[in-house]
Amino acid sequence: MSTSSTALLDLELRPGALPTLHVGATRDAPGWAAAHRDALRAATTEHGCVLVRGLGLGDPDEIGAVFRRLATGLMAEKEAFAARRTYADGVYSSSAWPANQPMCMHHELSYALEFPGLMLFACLTAPTDGGATGVADSSAVLRALPSELINRFEREGWLLVRNYNDDIGSSVAEAFGTDDRGAVESYCRANGIAFEWQPGGGLRTQQRRSAVMRHPATGERCWFNQIAFLNEWTIDPEVREFLVDVYGADGLPFTTRFGSGEPIGADVVQLLNEVYEAATVRTPWQAGDLMLVDNIRSAHSREAFRGPREVLVGMADPVRLTDCAPTVEVAPR
């Protein structure tokens, strides 16, 4: 075990665990967050994430106040792929996802043209088993991937294919904040999203994005995408088989492809998830914990769990893709 002092914070650094700051409980957590804001953000930039343990955060209002003290600005989620509960402006539940299925590594909203630079998490209720939010260094992941695969993704980017309906996944209204066709089409055109309305009112979209970019603050090259997480081969095999039977191979709620449109094989997805796992650090949640994650420097995940789990999420400090040296150009449609 070793400790490091980063911007006046005494962080506990242990192999395989999140960088952790142990603090004493306070009656004014928002005030504490404001006083330590710059140091926490500097440590998050340096290490990719920081877990703050001991604050004793106890209710959504307090957590929202802490989030607002730490963020430059909280974002409203757009293009959601799963439902969330809204606690307050910019304060959400974790994405609704089956407890027995892990959420693989991803960068929040990496398929959007504007995404959070900072993710904020706070644990109200810790599960009895599992449920950790793992974190993986995206630069380390990039260094570990085969150069020929990286080169292809740099040239082509990656393609997210989505099918919206009212049966599974996000509906059009949940993803775009409206079910007005004109408004949805205007949003898609402005954000480089190809769209096609389906018989019965469903919507199919495709959007091509960069898989590799540079951190806007450090210039570091990062593997920044949701290629593995949103790919059909990451879905539980029985669930995937059911979805294909019901909706067809081209009707899955979401999947990813190479930027050329060519399917991504199960072997590539397996490789990506193996590299992520080798780079993952994790610490089980305790009620009252706070965590900051640099959304560009670090990918995050959610392990399968048992028992109740309530982790609140804030998406903060919006960053434009154009400020991150993307390798694939996105033009309005």
Could you report the per-residue pLDDT of 253-301, keeping only the tens digit for each? 899 999 999 999 999 999 999 999 999 999 999 999 999 999 999 999 9
- Residue 58 is which amino acid? G
Query: What is the SS3 assignment for 38?
Result: helix
Is the pLDDT higher at 23 or at 5? 23
Q: What Rg, from alpha-carbon coordinates, does the chain have?
A: 19
- Cα–Cα distance between 330 and 313 in angstroms, integer? 28
Q: In what order do the strands lie in the sheet with 2-6?
A: 2-6, 9-13, 20-22, 49-53, 290-294, 114-125, 310-320, 91-93, 86-88
> What CATH number is given for 140-273 in this structure?
3.60.130.10
From 23-37, 97-111, 159-173, 285-299, the region with the lowest mean pLDDT = 159-173
- Cα–Cα distance between 137 and 3 in angstroms, integer? 19
Phi, psi for 168 (deg, rounded to 5):
-150, 145
How much is the pLDDT for 250?
A: 87
User: Which residues, 6 or more positions from 101, have their beta carbon under 8 angstroms from its beta carbon?
Assistant: 236, 239, 304
2-97+112-128+281-324 and 140-273 share one fold: yes
What share of the chain has pLDDT > 90, as a percent? Answer: 78
Homologous superfamily, domain 2-97+112-128+281-324: Clavaminate synthase-like (3.60.130.10)
Residue ranges of domains in the chain: 2-97+112-128+281-324, 140-273
Tens digit of pLDDT for each residue in 210-267?
Answer: 999 999 999 999 999 999 999 999 988 888 898 889 888 888 889 999 999 999 999 9
- Cα–Cα distance between 265 and 279 in angstroms, integer? 22
- Cβ count near 110 (within 10 Å): 26
User: Which residues, 6 or more positions from 329, have their beta carbon under 8 angstroms from its beta carbon?
Assistant: none
- Cα–Cα distance between 116 and 108 in angstroms, integer? 7
Tens digit of pLDDT for each residue in 120-178?
Answer: 999 999 999 999 999 999 999 999 999 999 999 999 999 999 999 877 778 898 899 89
**275-313 as b/e, with b when 16 or more CB fall inside 10 Å?**
bbeebbbbbbbeebbbbbbbbbbbbbbbbbbeeebbbbb
- Reported confidence tier of residue 6, pLDDT bands at 50, 70, 90: very low
Angle (deg, nearest 10), helices 37-47 and 60-70: 80
